[in-house]
Amino acid sequence: MLGGHKNQGYTIVETMIFLAISGLMFVMAAVFVSGKQSTAEFRQGMNDINSNLQQVINDVGNGFYPSNSSFTCSSSGSDLLFSSNTSTTQGANIGCVFLGKVVQFGAGSDPANYYVYSLAGTQLTTAKTTPANFGEAVPRVIYTPDLTDKKVLQWGVQATAMYDNDGTTPISAIGFFGSFGGGLQSGSQVVNVVAVNPGTSVTDASSNAEPTMVGTINAGVSDSHVRTHPNIRICFKGSSNQYGSVIIGGGNGQKLTTAMQISTTSLGGCPA
């Protein structure tokens, strides 16, 4: 007889060990891929908000305030009056002028929401002179659907705080305004930064209704809050171990800049 070897298959124990190892490797790979995807999504969300802030700065510098709404703006000397849904041709609101925009994070019931408000001011003071500062201009939010732009932070990004002086003084919003009396440079206005409501953190405004937010901004835009050399930090967080910030600086006749930071640990000047 010819001898030979009998083929044997895997035992049940060997099969179970193989499946366990394969399953573990699959879970590790899935966690790794999920972590990479989450990091990429957070970075994209931070890029979006950084680009949006740059766009707001550019719009103010170029005097760009697009609106499809019809409204009338008139000055009562110490205040501005707005009437919506009235037929007013472009350029007919001679009693008021656009001043700038204010960005507010963490306002309302959803921490992912943020608002970009357009503000107007009186064209002439009670003495019939051109306003030279915010005290004379009486800045007010134009609360119409398309001039108050509600935006949403994407990819799970949430704002946690906003600070003046790079992490030393909490503020509730940041304003970008054109210069009084012109101040044109290379076809664009010099954009001034206002730290709105110093001492009031972004979380303090999180439960306010929209009319309260508007009133808070109106009261918080003043000459004492203008920052010649702005150093404002806006802090964000992601789903887990994801932290970011956007720092707004420059000023004093220089072009405003935005610098973005992303880390897996809490950033200096931001909440942990």
- CA torsion sign for 27, 30, 36, 37 is negative
Looking at the predicted structure, is the pLDDT value of residue 167 above 50? Answer: yes
- pLDDT at res. 46: 92
Looking at the predicted structure, is the pLDDT value of residue 267 above 70? Answer: yes
**Residue given tokens 């897996």 in the structure block:** 264
Given pLDDT bands bounded at 50, 70 and 90, which one contains residue 1? very low
For residues 149-165, average pLDDT: 86
Given pLDDT bands bounded at 50, 70 and 90, which one contains residue 29? low
3-class secondary structure, 224: helix
Looking at the predicted structure, is the pLDDT value of residue 25 above 80? Answer: no
Given pLDDT bands bounded at 50, 70 and 90, which one contains residue 205? very low
DSSP secondary structure letters along 46-60: HHHHHHHHHHHHHHH
- Amino acid, res. 111: P
Give the separation between CA 104 and CA 84, rounded to whole angstroms.
Answer: 23
Looking at the predicted structure, is the pLDDT value of residue 166 above 70? Answer: no
Given pLDDT bands bounded at 50, 70 and 90, which one contains residue 233? very high
Please name which of 115, 190, 175, 124 lies closest in space to residue 146, comparing C-alpha atoms.
Answer: 115
Of residues 11 and 247, more confidence is placed in 247
For residues 105-131, average pLDDT: 79
Q: Please, what is the Cα angle at 145 between 139 and 148, to 5 degrees?
A: 40
- pLDDT at res. 244: 92
Q: What is the pLDDT of residues 64-115, one digit of tens each?
A: 887 776 677 777 666 777 776 555 555 556 678 889 999 988 755 566 788 8
Looking at the predicted structure, is the pLDDT value of residue 123 above 90? Answer: no
What kind and span of H or E run contains 259? strand 257-263
Of residues 116 and 271, more confidence is placed in 116
- pLDDT at res. 55: 93
Q: What is the pLDDT of residues 31-78, one digit of tens each?
A: 554 555 678 889 999 999 999 999 999 999 888 887 776 677 777 666
Strands (E), 5-154: 71-75, 80-84, 96-105, 113-122, 140-141, 148-152
Please name which of 243, 265, 259, 222 lies closest in space to residue 161, comparing C-alpha atoms.
Answer: 243
- pLDDT at res. 209: 43
- pLDDT at res. 59: 92
Under 8 Å between Cβ of 200 and 66: no
Give 100's strand partners: 119, 177
Given pLDDT bands bounded at 50, 70 and 90, which one contains residue 185? very low
109-118, 119-128, 194-203: segment of lowest average pLDDT: 194-203
